[in-house]
Structure 1
Amino acid sequence: MRLTKKDVAVVALGKLGGAATVIDTEDAAIAAHAIDRDAFGWKKYPERVDLDAVRTTLRHEGEGKDPRIEGSIQNGWHLTPRGVAWVEANKALLGDAKITVAPTSAATQRWRAETREAGAAANRVRTSEAFRLWVQGKELTPRQAAGVFRIDEYTPAKDRTRKTAQLQELIRGDEEIEAFMNMAIPAALELRPPVGRQQEESK
Structure 2
Amino acid sequence: MLDADSGTFLDIDPLRPVEEQTALFAEALSRTPDATVVAHSWGGTLVGIAMAHDVARPTALVLVEPAMFDLARTNESVSHHIDVMTDARTLADAGDLRGFWNLVKPMMFGAQATDDDWKEDEPHAARFAQLTLPWGFDLDEALPGLPPTLVITGAWWDGYEAIAQSLVGRGAQHIQLQGAGHRPQDLPGFSRVLNDWKAR
TM over 0.5: no
Higher strand share: 2
TM-score scaled by structure 1?
A: 0.23
TM-score where L is the length of structure 2: 0.23
Larger radius of gyration: 1
Higher helix share: 1
| Structure ranking higher on relative contact order (CA contacts 8 Å, 6+ apart) | 2
